Amino acid sequence: MNGFLNIYKEKGMTSHDVVQKIRRISGIKRVGHTGTLDPDAQGVLPICIGKATKASDMLIGSNKCYITWFRLGITTDTQDISGTVLGKSKVLVTDSQLQQAVDAFRGEIFQTPPMYSAIKIKGEKLYALARRGIEIEREQRKITIHKIKVLARNGNDVQLDVECSKGTYIRTLCHDIGKLLGCGACMTELTRTQTACFAVEKSVTISKVESDGIEKHLMPLDDLFDYDKVFLTRALTEKTLNGQDVPFEAIEGKDYRVYGSDGRFLCISKGLQGRLKPTKRFF
């Protein structure tokens, strides 16, 4: 069993909980997720099964889309509503000021990861230090906010639509918008709506997978890639399985989905100097 499940992670579960449940349902140990969602967050969490775990890095590195709510006037130690309140401020922010602040975070920006995160510093996760009351200096990271749009405002509560690069903390984005406005803010709700080709509209809950069976919802491994297909002869299949490049009139620099003589998906290969060079193997 090799492929992907577009799981809708519900609130209250960790990403690891989802992996454990899929392992139990499938009976397969080789299961992984493609980017952590906090327990209080919900939405798209692609799950890799079997050989599909070899493609997890490609999904982790993809852009993500979120719908989030944040509340102006409150700051917390976790940067979301579940944390300990550190401060409250009166909010005197107009819609125009809010829009200007939001627009300031569009494009390439630097973001300081929150203390309540799974990032490791000298072998220890930041959240473990934070729970002991220890705060350490964190290096800023360059991220990209491809899209950020105010969808709604209800008093001090604001809803955003965000598309961003990997490594972006939406909690921190909300916190930083509040900081720029001078009143502070914390995230109150988060839904991931898309990761790569996995959209929330086509996601399924774990209970649905359990009742229907995994096979009904399993996306084939090769469907992840939108490349032309190449079917090899038996002789070229053997060479590919032995790690060799094989002759093929390929477009220079173009990626291909490569299949063996038996129709089995083998790898992603790139056309280089009249040959196919494997760049991601699934055998």
Catalytic residues: 38
Q: How many CA atoms lie within 13 A of 68 on its CB side?
A: 32
In whole angstroms, give the CA distance from residue 255 to residue 268: 7
In whole angstroms, give the CA distance from residue 260 to residue 67: 42
DSSP string, the chain: --EEEEEEEPTT--HHHHHHHHHHHH--S-EEESS---TT-EEEEEEEEGGGGGGHHHHHTS-EEEEEEEEETEEESSSBTTS-EEEE------HHHHHHHHHTTSEEEEEPPPSSS--EETTEEHHHHHHTT-------EEEEEEEEEEEEEETTEEEEEEEE-TT--HHHHHHHHHHHHTS-EEEEEEEEEEETTEEGGG-B-HHHHHHH-HHHHPEEGGGG---EEEE--HHHHHHHHTT--EE--PPTT-EEEEE-TTS-EEEEEEEETTEEEEEEE--
What dihedral do alpha carbons 44, 45, 51, 57 form, nearest 10°?
100
